Amino acid sequence: MRESAQQFKLWQRLQKRLYIYLTLAFLTMLLLVARLFTIQVLNGEKYYELSQRVIRKVVTLPAPRGEMFDRYYESRTTATRIVSNQATLNLVVVPSHFKKGELFRLTKLLERKLDLPEGELTAKLTPSKIRKNEEIVLIDGLTERQQTILADYYLTFSRFIIRQSTSRFYNFGEAMAHITGYIGPPSKKDIEAGLKSYQKVGKNGLELYYDRILRGEDGEIVQLKTARGNVEEQKVFKNFIPGNNLILTIDSDLQKLAYEHLKERKGAVIAIAPATGEVYVLASSPSYDPNILVSGDAEQRKEHLLKIASEQAELNRAISAKYPPASTFKPLVALAALEEKRASKNTRYFCSGKFVLKSTYKGLPDAEFYCWRKHGWNNLVTAIQNSCSAYFYQLGYHIGSEPIIKYARYFMLNRLSGIDLPGEIAGFIPSPLWKEKKFNQRWFDGDTVNLSIGQGFIQTTLIGMVDFYAALATGGIVYKPHLVKEIRYADNDKIKEKIEPTPLYELPISNSTLKVIKEGLLLVTQKGTARGSFGYKGMPLVMGKTGTVQTRSDDRFANATQHAWFIGIGPLDKPIKKQLVIGVFVERGIGGAVSAAPIAAKLFVLWEKKLKGQKKSPNGQSDLKNIGIPRTSR
């Protein structure tokens, strides 16, 4: 009996444990079934694709970079392409496909077979640029000869991949280099930030500023290869998303004409629509050829880079250089005097060819400030017309530096315009406080006299001065300058973003002040210093101002040591929405009327023709030859 009772208890324990084990087994099976259902049914496609990555080769499908078009865009088939893509073949390698040291050895052999300079290809295999399973572009754009040699040595270089791709082509070359910029391989910093070594990034201009918008997103192809390396099957794993296209505000005809007349000199040209801030022209010289930097061989690139460095050709003189504004600053001095009620249109000063500033220190001689000729009596309007420096010396001395500095800052001549290009710098407006800190000297009356004609310590950018004249055109409103009009999707051509005019600042300039300033500026082109470029029958009606930056030379005509300015607004017989503000700066240009105003006049002639719907001649200069070059130089 006792044994039977013990056996019964043991059997109960065994049953209890059996139930626990069976329950655990059932729950485990249930979890496995649930997991299999999740993997195979709910996430089946995801894990299938991941499995394909493991058993098959994943090949990058690079996204085409977005293209750039000029302002008159209607469709891709009819539009003027500023930057385009061209089909090309690249030679790429994947480091993980080679044994240690093998890739470097074969790449060095390839350099010899292709007659390339030693190190041109192996330099791309530096550790900082290598990721084991990521493609490296050894040759961007294979030539026919290089393709033939690779075919001849197929067995040796069988693991080197020829990949179909696109190359960048800059259709206007040097003429728009400072607008477009160019692309190149990513830097170490770019790669650390997540870029792939085979990708191209913007290095300057719009290519850099809008790099993320232009770049797009790469896709992937999964390939199944046979034992011999032939592709047996391939599937688009992830399709690429092409980069967005940019519709620029640039008028390609005006841009070509501006660069044509600027390219043999150092300087810059900007044309802006004052009613919107759209940039029609932005040219800088010397320039460079982005096509050589993108597609040239190593020797061509090296030679071109040396030329760029020697000429400072990568410097965008329209936004990244500053100079004394000279006489183009005089209208601002006049505006400050009028707005502060310290002068009127009829304020008169006599010009004997110089202004003598009496010394306030015993034993020091009086200071003499010279005008470029004797003008006699002038009022404020005729002083602007004749660019009479002696008048503005006396006006500035009378009103003092404070209102001049105040209005120069109001018009943001010491701040950035915010244009959508990299590398813009701000102008510089001096002040008594700055001078005391910089030189441990007080501000002298002579500093004010110099400031009154845009000389001395003051330095402005061309785009800053063009914005000031845009404010005169609009009555005080300045719109942010911009080079992109629209951003469009590349696949369906729909507008992704339209760039609307954005007010940069607005100043309440009185109508009476504007009337006086504009009267003087119109007389500049009709009877004053710029009459040699605009004072002809049939010329566009333009108002503007010449400027000549004085340098330490007694003979500016013989040695061309003076810098030249001209900024104009017109055509004045057209509504403000059809007017342009055109600024021209020429280094060593003798004088504003000699070299800057004639370039602006040619642009205004062409612009008026375009407004009338007239076609220009093949060289764009048919009716421009009669624009004279006067001997006056202010």
Whether pLDDT at 220 is above 70: yes
Give the residues across from 392 on adjacent strands: none
SS3 content of the chain, % helix, strand, coil (to 5): 40, 20, 40
**630 compared with 244, residue with greater pLDDT:** 244
Phi, psi of 489 (to 5 degrees): -65, 135
Between CA 351 and CA 392 the distance in angstroms is 10
**pLDDT (mean) for 200-219:** 94
User: Under a CB-based contact definition with an 8 Å cutoff, are residues 325 and 465 in contact?
Assistant: yes
Whether pLDDT at 536 is above 90: no
> pLDDT band at 555, cuts 50/70/90?
low
Question: Which pLDDT tens digit goes with each residue over 6-15?
Answer: 766 666 777 7
**337 compared with 162, residue with greater pLDDT:** 337
Give the residues across from 566 on adjacent strands: 546, 584
**pLDDT (mean) for 575-595:** 96
Identity (one letter) of the amino acid at 151?
A
Window from 96-105, 304-313, 602-611 with minimum mean pLDDT: 96-105
Question: Which pLDDT tens digit goes with each residue over 140-151?
Answer: 888 888 889 888
CA atoms in the 13 A half-sphere facing the CB of 85 = 21
Q: Report the pLDDT value the prediction gives residue 628, as an integer from 0 to 100.
A: 40
Whether pLDDT at 357 is above 90: yes
Between CA 457 and CA 553 the distance in angstroms is 18
User: Under a CB-based contact definition with an 8 Å cutoff, are residues 69 and 79 in contact?
Assistant: yes
**360 compared with 306, residue with greater pLDDT:** 306
**pLDDT (mean) for 154-180:** 90
Question: Which pLDDT tens digit goes with each residue over 406-428?
Answer: 999 999 999 999 999 999 999 99
**pLDDT (mean) for 47-51:** 56
Q: Report the pLDDT value the prediction gives residue 466, as an integer from 0 to 100.
A: 98
**13 compared with 509, residue with greater pLDDT:** 509
Whether pLDDT at 33 is above 70: yes
Longest distance between any two alpha carbons in the chain, whole Å: 145
Mean pLDDT of the chain: 88
Q: Report the pLDDT value the prediction gives residue 554, as an integer from 0 to 100.
A: 53
> pLDDT band at 47, cuts 50/70/90?
low
Q: Report the pLDDT value the prediction gives residue 126, as an integer from 0 to 100.
A: 74
Whether pLDDT at 45 is above 70: no
**pLDDT (mean) for 307-318:** 96
Question: Which pLDDT tens digit goes with each residue over 455-503?
Answer: 999 999 999 999 999 999 999 999 999 999 999 999 999 999 999 999 9
Which fold, 60-248? Penicillin-binding protein 2a (Domain 2) (3.90.1310)
Q: Report the pLDDT value the prediction gives residue 303, as an integer from 0 to 100.
A: 94
**CATH number among 3.90.1170.50, 3.30.420.40, 3.40.710.10, 3.60.90.10, domain 255-285+319-611:** 3.40.710.10
Domain spans of the chain, in order of start: 2-42, 60-248, 255-285+319-611
DSSP label at residue 594: I
Window from 129-143, 241-255, 342-356, 453-467 with minimum mean pLDDT: 129-143
Question: Which pLDDT tens digit goes with each residue over 261-273?
Answer: 998 899 999 999 9
CA angle 400, 406, 411 (to 5 degrees): 135
Whether pLDDT at 631 is above 80: no
* Region at 573 (left for phi over 0; alpha for psi -120 to 50; beta for the rest): alpha
**pLDDT (mean) for 174-178:** 98
Between CA 37 and CA 490 the distance in angstroms is 40
Window from 35-49, 356-370, 377-391, 478-492 with minimum mean pLDDT: 35-49
